[in-house]
Chain A
Amino acid sequence: MRYTRPADVDGVTAALADGDAVVVGGGTMVVPEMTHGRVRPSAVVDLAKAGLAGIARDGDGWVIGAMTTYTELARSNVPLLATAARGITGGPQIRNRGTVGGSASYANPSSDVPAVLVALGARMRLARRGGAREVPAAEFFAGAFRTAREPDEVLTAITVPDTAAAPGYVKFKLVEGSWPIVTAAALAGPTIRVVLGGAAAAPVVVELERASWRARLRSEVDRLLTEPWDDVLAPGHYRARIAPVIAARAVAGALEEA
């Protein structure tokens, strides 16, 4: 196995262009996968020195480097994402090391970041040798552990537009140590958007009117959540059952309703 730690994005994309390489960000997901033989790459590209960390303002939004850690996010003012970052499971060691770009690229259905990015209308900046593109978060998350990123691409940054909508975030876990079972990221503006994480293979977007959200929420979730995520922690029917509950709590939180 080859290991490279390029000093910039060009170096990263050059290393990825060669073929079957795995990108390591914070390492909290992919390194244990390698240890247990579930990922057997011929090359590892480490982003640690590629200059991809940090949060910056850009016009009317945020640019969040892919290597920005949960700890940095938690200290920021990025709506929803800062809240989600503070509640990441695994302790400060994971929050110090795990990155928003790594979590997005891993696309574990049972994780906080994908649904939050979709709720925020974030855009994912991907780079490959000789080119770059942006993909809306809603398209980026293609399924369980699947994204729109091609093997020769690297996620470099995530842009998040400012929003005047009020945020609400609720994460439901079985106990402290479990993956999230269902998360709900809500933004309440003129209309309400709540995005469910953990409930299905990819984030589920629910759009609601302010006046009727309580009446409509359950049926909308039922309509959209046709294939709930099922794993050893919780069966799909349980996720489907509590998804409207968690969504309602997130919306109520955004609206500061009890």
Chain B
Amino acid sequence: MKLTVNGVEHEIDVDPRTLLVHAIREQVGLTGTHVGCLTGDCGACTVVVDGQTTKSCSVLALSAEGSAVETIESLADGDDLHPVQQAFWDEFGFQCGFCLPGMLLTAKELVESTPDPTDDDILRAIDGNLCRCTGYNTIVAAVRKAARS
């Protein structure tokens, strides 16, 4: 199949059961997208498919043929961090960093679609992303900061 990730088309061999997350990690070789549960609950595998955040453990790779997939690796522009990344760094919005790629892509979708999000908007937006380290307060602060920048 052909899988377009971060604007690059990859010709890869997949079994029909292969999940998008495994295709991205193992075939395309981009390991910033993480596997936390494979049940669609934790959000660590979040990617953007055709402009919308998606849990890539709940999508068959073949379903993404013809779609534009974006991963965490596309967020920064070279060494220049995206404002959402910078805000998470400044506000200590992560500790171990394992949930971070999913959080960042979810946060980016929110700040791009909702110019001045309320705290409730932020909580709803990151409702599908589990973090076990931070207690979320600093993540909410980071999203708030990113929305303002």
Which residues of A are at the interface with B, using a C-beta cutoff of 8 A?
Answer: 1-3, 5, 24, 26-28, 31-32, 34-36, 44, 46, 48, 71, 89-94, 96-97, 176-177
B42-75 vs A, CB cutoff 8 Å, 1 = contact: the mask equals: 0100100000111101111011010000000000
A-contacting 9-mer, from B5-13, B26-34, B90-98, B126-134:
B126-134
* Interface hits, B104-127 → A, CB 8 Å: 106, 109-110, 124-127
- Given A92-B106, A96-B52, A35 and B128 contact (CB-CB distance below 8 Å): no
CA of A35 to CA of B55, assembled, Å? 14
Chain A residues closer than 8 Å to B58, beta-carbon distance: 26-28, 31-32, 97
CB <8 Å contact, B38 and A176: no
**For the complex, is B149 an interface residue (Cβ under 8 Å from A)?**
no
Chain A residue contacts of B130, Cβ below 8 A: 177
Instruction: Evaluate contact between B17 and A32: CB separation under 8 angstroms.
Output: no
Is B142 an interface residue, CB under 8 A from the partner?
Answer: no
Neighbouring B residues of A89 by C-beta, 8 Å: 127-128
CB-CB < 8 A to B54: which residues of A?
A: 93, 96-97
Judging by beta carbons under 8 Å apart, are A27 and B59 in contact?
yes
Asked if A92 and B110 make an inter-chain contact with CB atoms under 8 angstroms apart, the answer reads: yes
Given A32-B40, A46-B60, A92 contacting B16 (CB threshold 8 A): no
**Known A90-B40, A91-B53, A91-B129; further 10 A-B contacts with Cβ < 8 A:** A2-B16, A24-B60, A26-B58, A27-B63, A28-B40, A35-B17, A36-B38, A91-B128, A92-B124, A92-B127
Give the distance to chain A from B79, nearest Cβ to Cβ, in Å.
28
Contacting residues, chain A, for B129 (C-beta < 8 A): 91
Q: Are B46 and A93 in contact (CB under 8 A)?
A: yes
Which of B17, B40, B129 has the most A CB atoms < 10 Å from its CB?
B40
Cβ A44 vs Cβ B16 within 8 A: yes
Contact: A93 with B16, CB < 8 Å?
no
In the bound complex, CA of A115 to CA of B35 (Å): 33
Q: Is the CB of B53 within 8 A of A5?
A: no
A-B contact pairs, 15 of them (CB 8 A): A1-B16, A3-B62, A31-B40, A31-B58, A36-B38, A44-B16, A44-B60, A46-B60, A90-B41, A90-B127, A91-B43, A92-B109, A92-B128, A93-B54, A97-B54
Whether A31 touches B59, Cβ cut-off 8 Å, given contacts A90-B41, A92-B110, A92-B128, is yes
A32 contacts across to B, CB distance below 8 A: 38-40, 57-58
